[in-house]
A and B are shown apart, each in its own frame.
Chain A
Amino acid sequence: MTAIAAKGTNWRKLFGRLRTYFSKPQNVILLVLGIVLTVTTIAPMLTIVNDTFAVHEGSVDARDVEEGQIYTTFNWVNLFAPATKTQKRLADINLWTPLKNSVLLSIFSCIGAILFGGVFAYLVTRTNMKCKKYLSAIFIFPYIMPQWTMAVVWQNLFNSNAVTGGSDGLLATLFGLRMPLWWCQGLFPSAMVLSLHYAAFAYILIGGIFRNMDANLEEAATILNTPRWKTFLKVTIPLVKPAILSTILLVFSSAMGSYPIPHYLNLSTLSTKYVELNASRAGQASILAVIMMLFGILILIVNQKTTSGRKSFTTVTGKSGQSSVVNLGIGKYILAAFFIFFTLCTGILPIIMFAVETFLPNPGDYSFITSGISGNMTLKWWINSDPLAENGMYGQLGILFNSTIWNAFLGTLIVSACCALAAGTIGLLVGYCVSKNRRSKWAAYVNNMAFLPYLMPALAVGVAFFIFGSSMGIFNTFLLLILAGTVKYIPFASRSALNSMLQLSGEIEEAAIIQDIPWWKRMTRIIIPIQKSSIISGYLLPFMTCLRELTLFMLLCSQTRIITTMLDYFDEMGLYAFSSGINLLLILVILLCNFVVNKLTGASIDSGIGG
């Protein structure tokens, strides 16, 4: 009898504790988000792992299986323990070489991005270099553009009949300049293009630290008569180390998951090999996706280690907030001139080339320059309205009359808006709830689960949702795109929201709690208005990133569904006028959105890149 009474008391206690726990909205939200994020992140991953063991009809793994057999270890054995010389050679071609190239590409992209972005960040924030405002705005242009467009520009500039075969690129045509093959194709150009693309990451992350750095730290070293180079190495660099680490983590996984750049520049990576193998070796392709996912998890672990063990530096204090400016002397003009030229090549030239391309008679046909015949320019790529006209347009209507292009554009806007709304809201809730439960292991788990997809290479996430979506019968639907985009972009919003929520003192909300103001009112009347700038960044970044996303979505829908798959289609088809026109439209929309939001709220893309 006593035992039963004790048991009843225990149950009541547990019930009471649960009721208290769930009386706090952040705990309920954390529980729900934890379950939702686990399902949306882990379920697609498990489907890939399952796919590596599944028998695929018409694929190599179905060759020696018995009737009715649905699972096999063939794919793993074939890649990791090849029995014959042929299998070993194939494993080398299909796994080890792409893996090596992917890792090298990621490493070189990190180095390049940090060098370009870090040096530029230092010059803009800590020196008296000229034209900073202009340079700062133009430096992020390569990041705004879809990444592979730079690869196409690279090809159009440097290819030549003598070296790469085919016709001459612009530099060979105009100046007879023929670059060596390693410059035109393979690891070097791929790493260069990715470095330029992700240099904006480094610039914004490292620049943020430089901008807020207290000059007293360096001044102390100067007073102690420390040489400038030593101050830079021993004081400045350690201060920006966390930002450098963040850049490495973000760029590494992004570079590893990049498909279009190595595809256009002829480099065999895990991403390009995945697409190649998918026809006859689908299970082995899934193994490549699993490897990419493992890199993502590895990066998450490294991220955890570095953030938990990281030396803490206080860079913002209540004292002098002035940062010292290094006087470059005459160098301020020379460096400005160099960077104006540099950004001209990386930011302005591609846009000019895009614009010119839309007026050429045939893709890459610059006869108006070489022959001086202005009649060799045309408006057909914009205004052709005759579907039967075969004037070099492969039956396509001009951009202005091409409903396929505009429908795809509308599709992109729908997907981007929905992803931004969903990711922004979930990220906001994650940020809020995690900040309220900082010491909770569950909160840390939810936070990691929300951040994990960002560290996963985009192609791996795309593959996971492709297999998941196909089995759920939602392939080629906006629902699948929105689901994948939301999961992938939650980290943008959650990081942004978490950082801003951590800045908020608990007292602000406590005052409202004492007055018995409901949670939703506290959120909409107090929390969100105070941190609206970073919260809007949490919506803005997924929106803008989604607008130009290809790798994540390329396996999930037909090419006419959204504008980036359409753009890639035109690029692959060699219809550069269309892809260039679409690129111009995309850049315009992104800049316009950034401008409007910046004017309305003060938030902008360059204040929050990288989460």
Chain B
Amino acid sequence: MKKLIALLMALIMTLSLCPVLAEGEMTVEEVIALAQTMTNEELYKKAIEESNGQVLYGIGNSSRGKTAGASFVAMLQGIDPSYTGTIDWSQPKNNSIFTTLNADIKGAKHVYSMTLIQDGNQVKSKMIDTGNLLNFIPKEWVEGEGVAVENNNNPLALQTLNKVFMFNNLGEAEFTNCWDFVAEGVAPLYMGVNSELVGKNFLYMLTHETYANYLKEAYDALPEEKKAYFAPTVEEMALEAEALGLEAENAAYGLAYIYLWCTAYNEQTDDGPICNTLVTTSAVDQCGLLVYSKLRSVEESAESSVNNITIAAYQDGYQGIGGYAYKHYLMIPKTSPLPWTACAFISYMVTTYDGFAAWGKDMGGYSANPICMWDHTQDGYVDGVNTYDAKNDRGYEWWISADGGRLVVEDPAYCASVAFDLGDWIDMIVGSK
């Protein structure tokens, strides 16, 4: 009995030491605050100290985090050849990244040190508002020359990706106005709005003042007979906009577009199959809204060619929105086991050419930092000849400008503010198809 009591007391004393030991360590928030004042060189040293011989677990919506991780480790080994840390990257399916991260943060044992995450709406409502994910702004990024800090720092964006309207050009159909994609009989190929939720964010954003105005302008530019087809829906939606509490003056145009889009779109499992479909000779007059970079992976054959499709916004005189843009955010869980290494890795990806190379080599993905950007304006050139015009990416500035591609850009705060009511409304339309 005495032995048992002695053992218990020893155990209690040992456990009571744990909080004392933990108090000496910095919290993740404190690490981030300090890391934001450091140069990359200093961060890399901290990372080497912290994670030598350890595994940093990262989780993200892009599989290329793995490539970037390998590049980061190689870079650290360049600084210190004895560095043996590694990065284990996982890409969860469907929407489970949020559940996984939250479970990890709330659990007793914390695994994930950083994340690359998309869907601004859920990031805001499930991760930022709850304080589960923390934002880290690298010093060299914020002070970098030409970095577009605004709109990319809260949370920090690795890149902006675009999904653009395309159509198969082998038929007679014309798509010279964004309303043509929701015209009678047209069924654009699109990923299910509940399958990839950034697609739903695109629809939310159409009720935002800026983009509702774009739609109104495009509507006004329509010929009268087409206008007559859309007019009843627009009128009907004026009441809905009021009921949904939407504040934009032209929200009815946004709602009308959403309504027509949701009743018409042809749901596909991914942008890959949409691209493979649109470029074939049999997909006459078909259209879709898909990730621009998918075009890079089409192999020319008798049945398939990039030249079988046209990027709607690249046409002279095209009216209205050319697609939409969403972001990949880099964030750190408040329970990150290796916060210094996470900060260093994030800084490496957003401030160096090699760090962004895993994404930068593709068209349609844009870093806010000019140092990281690759030039894709002549990706469609073969031996100096413009062979595949659709592949010549006109660049981020062109795509988001009001005079260019007029992309609808995801705004996490706006999406989160309208998601509940508008989300239900969209689900009803999609479910009633």
Interface residues, chain A, with chain B CB atoms under 8 Å away: 57-58, 60, 63, 86, 89-90, 92-94, 97, 161, 164-168, 172-173, 263-264, 266, 268, 275-280, 282, 361-367, 370-371, 373, 376, 378, 388, 390-395, 466, 470-473, 475-476, 554-555, 557-561, 565, 568-569, 571-575
Is B98's beta carbon under 8 Å from chain A?
yes
Known pairs A173-B282, A361-B300, A470-B100 / 16 extra A-B pairs, C-beta < 8 Å: A58-B122, A58-B129, A86-B428, A166-B273, A280-B419, A362-B298, A362-B304, A363-B272, A365-B299, A367-B304, A370-B302, A470-B99, A471-B106, A558-B59, A559-B92, A569-B93
Q: Find chain A residues with CB under 8 A from B299 CB.
A: 361-362, 365, 378, 391-392
In the complex, the answer to whether B432 meets A93 with C-beta atoms within 8 Å is yes
Q: Find chain B residues with CB under 8 A from A89 CB.
A: 428, 431-432
Q: List 24 A-B contacts (CB under 8 A).
A: A57-B126, A57-B129, A58-B129, A60-B424, A86-B424, A90-B427, A166-B277, A168-B282, A173-B282, A279-B194, A361-B300, A367-B303, A371-B302, A392-B299, A466-B96, A471-B103, A471-B106, A473-B108, A473-B109, A555-B94, A555-B96, A559-B92, A560-B90, A565-B93
In the complex, the answer to whether A558 meets B304 with C-beta atoms within 8 Å is no
Q: Which residue of B lies closest to A558 (CB)?
A: B90
Interface residues, chain B, with chain A CB atoms under 8 Å away: 59, 63-64, 90-96, 98-100, 102-104, 106-111, 122, 125-127, 129-130, 187, 189, 192, 194-195, 197, 266-270, 272-280, 282-284, 286, 296-304, 361, 419-420, 423-425, 427-428, 431-432
Q: Find chain B residues with CB under 8 A from A392 CB.
A: 297-299
In the complex, the answer to whether A278 meets B302 with C-beta atoms within 8 Å is no
Q: Find chain B residues with CB under 8 A from A277 CB.
A: 194
Q: Which residue of A lies closest to B194 (CB)?
A: A276
CA distance A92 to B431 in the complex (A): 9
Least CB distance from A184 to B in Å reads 12
In the complex, the answer to whether A390 meets B297 with C-beta atoms within 8 Å is yes
Q: Find chain A residues with CB under 8 A from B64 CB.
A: 395
In the complex, the answer to whether A574 meets B270 with C-beta atoms within 8 Å is yes
Contacts known (A173-B282, A280-B419, A376-B301); A363 close to B276, Cβ less than 8 A: yes
Number of A-B contacts (CB under 8 A): 194
Q: Which residue of B lies closest to A393 (CB)?
A: B297
Contacts known (A93-B432, A279-B194, A574-B276); A58 close to B266, Cβ less than 8 A: no
Q: Find chain B residues with CB under 8 A from A555 CB.
A: 93-94, 96
Q: Find chain A residues with CB under 8 A from B104 CB.
A: 470, 473, 475
Q: Find chain A residues with CB under 8 A from B282 CB.
A: 161, 167-168, 172-173
Q: Which residue of B lies closest to A264 (CB)?
A: B269
In the complex, the answer to whether A572 meets B269 with C-beta atoms within 8 Å is yes
In the complex, the answer to whether B304 meets A278 with C-beta atoms within 8 Å is no
In the complex, the answer to whether B130 meets A58 with C-beta atoms within 8 Å is yes
Least CB distance from A39 to B in Å reads 18
Q: Find chain B residues with CB under 8 A from A166 CB.
A: 189, 266, 268, 273-274, 277, 283, 286
In the complex, the answer to whether B90 meets A561 with C-beta atoms within 8 Å is yes
CA distance A268 to B431 in the complex (A): 9
In the complex, the answer to whether B420 meets A60 with C-beta atoms within 8 Å is yes
Least CB distance from B141 to A in Å reads 26
CA distance A370 to B303 in the complex (A): 9
Q: Which residue of the partner chain, among B107, B270, B301, contacts A362 with CB atoms under 8 Å?
A: B301
In the complex, the answer to whether B304 meets A365 with C-beta atoms within 8 Å is yes
Least CB distance from B328 to A in Å reads 16
Q: Which residue of the partner chain, among B107, B129, B296, B303, contacts A366 with CB atoms under 8 Å?
A: B303
Q: Find chain A residues with CB under 8 A from B286 CB.
A: 161, 165-167
